[in-house]
Structure 1
């Protein structure tokens, strides 16, 4: 059988407690060249509260095994603003990721979803919005100081290690998802396969239409990127231009330090990214 295209980015996601040298060597042989590990935090009590099954020591060990197995492209997940979170916990987690060979870091603020354990019984000592914003801005700054440039609202990378598959999503490019509950977009049209492994295995894949990738989607996704939204690209792709009123709004954002706007590209600053939803409400 034909293998993957040479130079393709092939990412495997794993939790630290599931990683072994044998498994990693086998994945390398199968063509996997990028590893994403759900590290989350360097504090064991926080991991236990999140219901994670690994410890910080296992995280460090898993990252060490990945380096030993020859992975040079390693991403680690960093959860911010956890219950009873402190700058010390942030510093310890960033140190663990940076010292153990991560070339890419995805940082997320804890979001309480309905119908989850935390949704039904919210944990105590959750940081408020202002504290969460401060942790996010501190993470952006601390990661930049260590050579991880922010290239997207939640993603940071050493030069050349930006995730290529994520870039396709944010640029409204073509991607094909395979498997139960997988989402795809081709030629600006979105579609998905239903959830459920048994049904997926029993019959040919069913693709359900999910609408089109619109100008609004493009604006939202491009503003997630540090390089920002090109007004000429928006016009070329969707025939959409901002009114003079909206252009004035962009100037106001820039005056308040929420964006950088040179008349042709709108880039949100980290502070602007925190209020991206409010900015989008004005724009679309």
Structure 2
């Protein structure tokens, strides 16, 4: 049966008004990634000293990460966790392919110190660079939100933020710690095994853990990201924030370093990489 023409027009208007804010958020995320990409290329071409260049790359990566995730909050609030997860999955792959040696994550530098691949002074400088990039980027986000291009940005630029922690502080720290530990174990295993689509697999695991923790701690697994987006927000004190998102995540990361060295895990990794002398992964040559 044919529907009246006015009904078709009404449905078309509703669909456009519903879809438009998601397009605006998508364009903002693409713009942020493009600006970061250009800034990264400029730094790589103009800065000759390797460590200074890496510090700037860390700041840019942290700014890109936090800038995109500010908008992902808008996406999650208005279009659901499933849409948020799709965006995060794609972005994680993009970041993995474009950041180079930058990580935008403090505990990776702590791991380097523990394993003898870095020193404390350089680790602290990298963390400082990440915090600088992550905290400064909000002014850029705020400027965009002030334009109120879509309804989802209305009153967001100067709105008081609320914490994502929905459980007691200790439980939140445990959630962040365990999930961070699992993420790091997965990343280390994939790095050693090197299967086909390792980046996509790593992104899927990380995104799945974020979604699983979403209604408990918010699922940040990155102290700089959590600080940029939620430090000082209503719902917890700065000390509680530090316990959950810094102590919890860093403890989980450090734990992963020692767990990964356990014989049972090493046996699994070596056994998966090679079985009876023959590689079981499609991208390996026998």
What range describes the TM-score normalised by the shorter chain of this pair?
under 0.3
Greater relative contact order (Cα 8 A, min sep 6): structure 1 or 2? 2
Q: Which has the higher helix share?
A: 2
- More strand as a share of residues: 1
The two structures have a TM-score, normalised by structure 1, of 0.26
